[in-house]
Structure 1
């Protein structure tokens, strides 16, 4: 991840605060539709922490001298990646029929899985990770000390390792998805997002007639803590949050990941050029830390077991969009003017005006995710409170009927019997709760 201004990195712990889960026992990992589960079972099984760990250890070795873009260490890292990518069988779509796309002494690395649909195959989904780092560090790109190899184990050997595992997993799908998937390893990210910007300006000949419809960026996914993953970009198209939640099913952990949705759009990683170009884009990130852009960002601090669930989540979203028979996600330009402050305003607790109502809840509509109204008030000792509903939860279904908007949700609750099952999303995890009024007790 690129440094915009070198100062002491900070991390806002309030973004990672965790509400008490009064109904944690009811937490469910809902299954994907049958076809989605079939597509992903073998691919999920192929994603291994040990294999990712070997890639992280190799790329974060001193021999690559910090992988600075354009340096001998950077070129050597690129050669390592191309060798690993060739073993996945993805089609080379760089310059001259190879994997590399040259620019300014640097090199992107590009491999393609062509879609099976004759029409939709021209629509391309990009999943990328930058492989360069800052070399020996200097006052413009490091928090010091300077002059020592900055191995960048988390930033971004972890993302590259995850992407190589994802590339291999694509070969385990029982059939190719409808749309094409481009696996891209960006160079020059630390120098100003140079690789991703170049790709968007100068499309390789093999992709000249394609249309980029969606992208995912993996940057610093090696420090998963308490299963918390930061997710950026869900506001760039309607339905992206729902797609991420649906894919948040980890075979190794029934509860899935604890997702922190951040609405900021900042120019510090390779997701930004895609959003600037009007392409819906997600970024997955496990958060900053004290070793960020320092020589101490080394492999022994990487949570290798934590890379696999992030890759599985990425694969789930990727294949869902790639195999969708309908239209690809449409870019939502309003996302450029939203921020995490906008999110906090939407989710801010509301004070009850008058009666608390039958269920004791208040909700607020979300213009981007209309089918997931946000709970902003839960009255004490109300049926909602006793069921375990919390502010910040999002309604998905009432009595087994999917919510389409806030008005429909209110009507369903008004018509509900004294006891009703509701389905809500809490930080990327789907829960079923039973609300019971006094007359049902």
Structure 2
């Protein structure tokens, strides 16, 4: 039944120019964007172009104005990078070494003085390659959580912000960013080539991986220190959510581009998991009830801030500048929502040191060699002390019992 529904929706979107798509749920949006037919939405690929057309059609059906440079689209050319989340290298030269991505941009004009930007990246890793944690060859990386979930939530908010009783004291610019996995390309390009007056932007909201709300209802919110009023709004509207807050406006997602342009930001994130950057990040693993909770929470923040004038910007400590260089990795996915002592493991990469040493999901690393591990920063500082080929004793807390294991990097 679900396959029939997806095919029906796809036919409506891609073929039927006159038919209006109505009342599409976040689940249906995720299912289409994370469908195998889009081949993982790699930046510049045919699959990503299909996804862009789908998002543009959704914007059109929602009655939003086109705000790109060519209708809903804003194209950009760049030199492909092998280092994810590095500074963008744009170019106007078209040759064999350049790629083309395109942001999809729409506008809700409430005739207000200021505008709120609501964004989510829609690209992913395609068939794998650089950035993938899958070690068994090429496979479609559908990216249901990363980041079909964020795009679906953005579209849901676009619909909600047009309903009766919704906040009207700001305009809203909705952007589906391309090239995030290649180094925040789309958001970087937009900030440098905006299609609205960015001096009138009050703040920016970014949804990246919001589809795996855990059983503890823990939601990470980054950027709470980028304006004096944000911390209060974030916590006052938490409801049933447990908020794990972070002051910094810098992180590995598109809000960083706006923060660096002196715009207050909030980034919402339900946490990494064992399917991160793997082919197994599929629609059936998304927590759609959790997505409703997160979407309602973000909507309440927007309502709370609606009566405020343009938010003042405040610089925060750039925590990424303090991250040490290290030559080795443990081969785990950290639990970024964990607030206890140590570094809790949320996933194990195949054929890497942690797996070979017998570490498991849920283990909490509390010591590496002679170095105590109390949080993510101390964990990374510990890693920076080791060399490839070195064997060290790692102490873990496994269900309350301390164990020592030998790890060879």
Q: TM-score, normalised by structure 2?
A: 0.64
2:39 aligns to what? Answer: 65
Aligned: 1:329 with 2:311: yes
Map 1:19-58 onto structure 2 (within 5 A): 51-58=25-32
Task: Please say if residues 143 and 282 of structure 2, whose CA atoms lie closer than 8 Å, have aligned partners that are also in contact.
Answer: yes
2:352 aligns to what? Answer: none
2:208 aligns to what? Answer: 219
2:236 aligns to what? Answer: 246
Residues of 1 paired with 2:134 and 2:200: CA distance? 39
CA gap of 1:139–1:93, structure 2 versus 1, over 3 A, is closer
Q: 1:95 aligns with which of 69, 76, 101?
A: 69
Structure with the greater relative contact order (CA < 8 A, sep ≥ 6): 1 or 2? 1
| Deviation per residue, 1:45-97 (Å, 9 max, x gap) | xxx9x81111111111100000011100000011111111111111111124x
Secondary structure at the counterpart of residue 307 of structure 1:
helix
Deviation at 1:115, TM superposition (A): 2.8
Task: Please say if residues 224 and 248 of structure 2, whose CA atoms lie closer than 8 Å, have aligned partners that are also in contact.
Answer: no
Secondary structure at the counterpart of residue 191 of structure 1:
coil
Task: Please say if residues 138 and 147 of structure 1, whose CA atoms lie closer than 8 Å, have aligned partners that are also in contact.
Answer: yes
1:75 aligns to what? Answer: 49
Rg larger in structure: 1
2:268 aligns to what? Answer: 284
Aligned: 1:200 with 2:191: yes
Residues of 2 paired with 1:236 and 1:320: CA distance? 17
CA gap of 1:137–1:51, structure 2 versus 1, over 3 A, is same
Residues of 1 paired with 2:272 and 2:317: CA distance? 23
Aligned: 1:128 with 2:119: yes
Deviation at 1:338, TM superposition (A): 9.3
Residues of 2 paired with 1:139 and 1:100: CA distance? 26
Task: Please say if residues 93 and 112 of structure 1, whose CA atoms lie closer than 8 Å, have aligned partners that are also in contact.
Answer: yes
CA gap of 1:291–1:209, structure 2 versus 1, over 3 A, is closer
Give the aligned CA root-mean-square deviation in angstroms. 2.5
1:191 aligns to what? Answer: 182
1:298 aligns to what? Answer: 282
What is the total number of aligned residue pairs between the two structures? Answer: 281
Secondary structure at the counterpart of residue 150 of structure 1:
coil
Residues of 2 paired with 1:66 and 1:58: CA distance? 11
1:85 aligns to what? Answer: 59
Deviation at 1:175, TM superposition (A): 5.9
Deviation at 1:334, TM superposition (A): 3.2
Structure 1: tracts of 5 or more residues without a match:
1-47, 250-255, 342-346, 349-441
Deviation at 1:327, TM superposition (A): 2.8
More displaced, 236-245 or 326-335?
326-335
Higher percent of residues as helix: 1
Task: Please say if residues 43 and 101 of structure 2, whose CA atoms lie closer than 8 Å, have aligned partners that are also in contact.
Answer: yes
Q: TM-score, normalised by structure 1?
A: 0.60
Secondary structure at the counterpart of residue 128 of structure 2:
coil
Secondary structure at the counterpart of residue 25 of structure 2:
helix
Task: Please say if residues 153 and 297 of structure 1, whose CA atoms lie closer than 8 Å, have aligned partners that are also in contact.
Answer: yes
| Deviation per residue, 1:195-241 (Å, 9 max, x gap) | 0000000012xx24752220010000000012111111101111201
Residues of 2 paired with 1:162 and 1:301: CA distance? 16
